[in-house]
Structure 1
Amino acid sequence: MRIENSFIPVHGVGEATERRLWENGITHWDEFDGSVVGATLSDRIETFIDEGRTHLDRGDVSVFAEALPAASRWRCYENVRNETCFLDIETTGLDAACNDVTTVSLHRGGETKTFVKGRDLTSDRLERELDEAALLATFNGQRFDVPFLETCFDIDVDVPHVDLMYPCKKLGLDGGLKAIERDLGIDRDMPDISGRDAVRLWHEYEAGDESSLETLIEYNRADTRNMEPLLEIVTDRLHENVFEAAVADD
């Protein structure tokens, strides 16, 4: 499903109205003719479509991400799949005011990069990497990863953001990232490690154990890489549940 199939970013269009448009054959912006809704709402939709095309021509999905509910931002993914950056962080604790970010992994275009505290993890490097992304994807990053980075590195993360936890809940997929991976059959190349283990590994590295840092990095990278197949599965299932189900009822 692409942004061009969506109408709920328009003020006054909820899921029921969008579904009614789809059921009446208006499944794409190109098909909108104002026949299903009133004149005022029709004008709003036409303005949204005109302005939306300009944003999409620039590869900018921020206006749509801001207007969509958190559980519906997955709709932005198909438009900027190749420019989507998957991000995960490890920290020394849960409070950004008194704990540190130890590693940050970013996965985009089939390549995973990891930055380490005290080596190459800096605010400038993070800003450069994020500036290249059209969409940010995390798991629980809206409440944890992004605020933590903004506090610890004094940066503003303003990339359009899909927090996978919310569309997963929409599909009835509850629990943490690793539990959902198991439910969906997404494999990992290493044993399961907890957030508490990640803190322990960092302290072992600080005490001189380089192998602990290697394990921590691979754990962080696995979390980041596995979000890509998770988002693929989530978008496919929600496309079927939300869009194809309505079109099939047409």
Structure 2
Amino acid sequence: MRIENSFIPVRGVGEVTERRLWEHGITHWDEFDGSVVGDTVAERIERFIDEGWTHLERGDLSPFATELPASSRWRLYENVREDTCFLDIETTGLDATRNRVTTVSVHRGGETTTFVHGHDLTADRLASELTEASLLVTFNGQRFDVPFLETCFDLEITLPHVDLMYPCKKLGLDGGLKAIERDLGIERDRPDLSGRDAVRLWHEYERGDDGALETLVSYNRADTRNMEPLMDLVADELHDRVFEPYCPGE
């Protein structure tokens, strides 16, 4: 499902009205003709579509991300699949004012890069990575990863953001990333490691154990890479549930 199939970013259009539009064959912006809804809402939809095409031509998903509920931002993914940046961080604790970020992994275009505190993890490097992407995908990053990075590196992360935790909940997939991976059959190396182990591994590295850093980086990279197949599965399943009944084969 693409952004062009969506009408819920429009003020006054909820999921019920959007489904009604789809039921009447209006499944794409190009098919909207002002029918089905009242004049005021129709004018808003027409203005949204006109402005929406301009935003898409510029590659700017921000206006859509702002108006879409967190559980519906998966709709942005198909438009910019190849320019999506998957991100995960490890830290020494849960308080960004007292603890620090130890590693940050980003996965985009089939490649994973990891930045390490004290080596190459800087605000400039992070900003550069995010600037090159069109969409950010995290798991629980809306509440944790993004505000933690913003606090620790004095950044303002404005990249349109899909926090996978919310669309997963829409599918009844609860729990942490690794629990959901198990439920969906997504495999990883060292499934025994947890966030607590990530803290322990960093402290062992600080005491001189280089092998602990290698393990930590491997764990962080697995968290990041595995979000891509999870995003694919979630987007496909939600497409089938939300949109496919109204537009078979799309």
How many angstroms does 1:68 deviate by? 0.1
Whole-angstrom distance in 1 between the partners of 2:56 and 2:228: 22
| Residue correspondences, number | 248
1:94 aligns with 2:87: no
Match for 2:5: what amino acid? Answer: N
How many angstroms does 1:169 deviate by? 0.1
1:120 aligns with 2:120: yes
Q: Deviations over 1:54-76 (max 9, x none)?
A: 11011111110110000000000
TM-score by structure 1 length?
0.98
1:107 aligns with 2:98: no
Aligned to 2:219: 219
1:75-90 alignment runs, 5 A limit? 75-90=75-90
Q: Deviations over 1:185-236 (max 9, x none)?
A: 0011333211110000000000000000000000000000000000000000
1:130 aligns with 2:133: no
Aligned to 1:200: 200
Aligned to 2:24: 24
Match for 2:103: what amino acid? Answer: T
C-alpha RMSD of matched pairs (Å): 0.7
Whole-angstrom distance in 1 between the partners of 2:245 and 2:175: 26
Whole-angstrom distance in 2 between the partners of 1:178 and 1:210: 25
Whole-angstrom distance in 1 between the partners of 2:66 and 2:81: 18
Match of 1:147, SS?
Answer: helix
Match for 1:43: what amino acid? Answer: E
Aligned to 1:164: 164
Aligned to 2:174: 174
Whole-angstrom distance in 2 between the partners of 1:47 and 1:142: 29
Match for 1:198: what amino acid? Answer: A
How many angstroms does 1:246 deviate by? 3.5
1:34 aligns with 2:72: no
1:155 aligns with 2:151: no
- Extract unaligned runs of 5+ from structure 1: none
Whole-angstrom distance in 2 between the partners of 1:185 and 1:80: 25
Q: Deviations over 1:80-137 (max 9, x none)?
A: 1111000000000000010000000000000000000000000011111111110000
Match for 2:64: what amino acid? Answer: F
Whole-angstrom distance in 1 between the partners of 2:191 and 2:67: 39
Match for 2:106: what amino acid? Answer: L
Match for 1:213: what amino acid? Answer: L
Identity across aligned pairs (percent)? 77
Match for 2:47: what amino acid? Answer: T
Q: Deviations over 1:149-190 (max 9, x none)?
A: 000000001000000000000000000000000000001133
Whole-angstrom distance in 2 between the partners of 1:192 and 1:231: 22
How many angstroms does 1:24 deviate by? 0.3
Q: Hey, which bits of structure 1, 4+ residues long, moved more than 4 A?
A: none
Aligned to 2:234: 234
Aligned to 1:146: 146
Match of 1:119, SS?
Answer: coil
Whole-angstrom distance in 2 between the partners of 1:247 and 1:105: 37
- Extract unaligned runs of 5+ from structure 2: none
